[in-house]
């Protein structure tokens, strides 16, 4: 794993956006895997700014998001489709048809998962996947105990994840209990991964990620087996590995 230590969140966001911009300049048809949550927000702001400055076009890029809550329509401001439109897609020149987020309102969720994996496969696979990490080591919504062999699937969210994500909702009861997520296998098939981690509350997770054994108990540990992971983390997140 290549590790870049940055001072703070802003520098992490800038570095990540530069990596993405360089990839798209080299290969305009890049297939990007994207994450939501607090961690990539700054990176999305940087990408929007770069586009506004005329530095980068996303018109040939295709995107696949990692996950989506089950039961939230795209207009719900807590759905990940809403998040992506709001933070990125509506501010850049990517045609919306080239953006993909699992449909958490699908009547047949098993079929939706299959169709999502097939669509990724037909696009040639993910070239560059952006990941955040949960304090319990989840990536996407692959919670501790998820098999490393999974493709896109439906999950029950862990109480700790519901608790962590309640900050976006009116109350913890409003957080959906289920989600669709790309599986560990889908993530591991990405040709390149950028993992972003910021803040002291993730310091234990970073320690476990880098020094723990590879185990389904801590899903992100599988990234130790990927050939092309670039971790960009700030000083606070790396404070326990020194």
Query: Is the separation of the CB atoms in 225 and 148 below 8 Å?
Result: no
Query: Is the separation of the CB atoms in 98 and 65 below 8 Å?
Result: no
39 binds ligand F6R (CB under 6 A): yes
CA distance 133 to 206: 9
Task: Note if 163 is an active site residue.
Answer: no
38 binds ligand F6R (CB under 6 A): yes
Q: Which is nearer to ligand F6R, 104 or 134 (CB)?
A: 134
Contact with ligand F6R (CB under 6 A) among 42, 102, 134, 176: 134
Task: Note if 138 is an active site residue.
Answer: yes
CA distance 47 to 212: 33
CA distance 221 to 68: 22
Rg, Å, the chain Cα set = 17
Residues touching ligand F6R, count (CB under 6 A): 13
- Which is it for strands 99-100 and 62-65: parallel, antiparallel or unpaired? parallel
C-alpha distances out from residue 24 to 17, 47, 55, 57, 222, Å: 11, 11, 11, 8, 27
Encoded tokens for 142: 């692959």
Which span sits near ligand F6R by CB under 6 A: 6-14, 56-64, 130-138, 150-158?
Answer: 130-138
Which span sits near ligand F6R by CB under 6 A: 49-57, 118-126, 138-146, 231-239?
Answer: 138-146
Q: Per-residue contact track with ligand F6R, 154 to 173, x per CB under 6 A?
A: --------------------
Contact with ligand F6R (CB under 6 A) among 10, 14, 21, 37: 37
Which span sits near ligand F6R by CB under 6 A: 33-41, 43-51, 88-96, 212-220?
Answer: 33-41
List binders of ligand F6R among 53-72 (CB under 6 A): 66-67
Whether the CA torsion 188, 192, 198, 203 is positive or negative: it is: positive
219 binds ligand F6R (CB under 6 A): no
Q: If you search the block for the tokens 């700054």, which residue do you land on?
A: 42
Task: Note if 65 is an active site residue.
Answer: no
Contact with ligand F6R (CB under 6 A) among 31, 50, 88, 139: 139
Whether the CA torsion 164, 196, 141, 35 is positive or negative: it is: positive
Residues involved in catalysis: 67, 136, 138, 143
Q: Which residues of the chain form contacts with ligand F6R (CB under 6 A)? A: 35-39, 66-67, 132-134, 138-140
């Amino acid at each position: 794993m290549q590790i870049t230590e940055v001072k703070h969140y802003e520098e992490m966001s800038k570095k990540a956006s530069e990596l993405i911009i360089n990839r798209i300049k080299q290969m305009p048809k890049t297939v990007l895997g994207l994450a939501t949550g607090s961690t990539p927000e700054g990176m999305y702001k940087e990408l929007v700014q770069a586009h506004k400055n005329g530095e980068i076009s996303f018109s040939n890029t295709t995107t696949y998001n990692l996950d989506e809550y089950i039961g939230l329509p795209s207009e719900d401001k807590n759905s990940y489709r809403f998040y992506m439109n709001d933070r990125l897609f509506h501010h850049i020149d990517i045609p919306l048809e080239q953006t993909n987020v699992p449909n958490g309102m699908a009547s047949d969720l098993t079929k939706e998962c299959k169709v999502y994996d097939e669509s990724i496969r037909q696009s040639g696979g993910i070239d560059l996947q952006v990941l955040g990490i949960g304090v319990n080591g989840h990536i996407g919504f692959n919670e501790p105990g998820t098999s490393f062999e999974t493709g896109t699937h439906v999950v029950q969210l862990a109480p700790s994840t519901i608790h962590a994500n309640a900050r976006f909702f009116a109350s913890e009861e409003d957080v959906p209990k289920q989600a669709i997520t790309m599986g560990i296998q889908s993530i591991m098939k990405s040709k390149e991964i950028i993992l972003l981690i910021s803040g002291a509350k993730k310091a234990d997770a970073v320690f476990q990620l880098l020094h723990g054994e590879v185990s389904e108990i801590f899903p992100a540990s599988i990234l130790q087996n990927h050939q092309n992971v670039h971790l960009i983390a700030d000083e606070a997140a790396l404070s326990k590995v020194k």
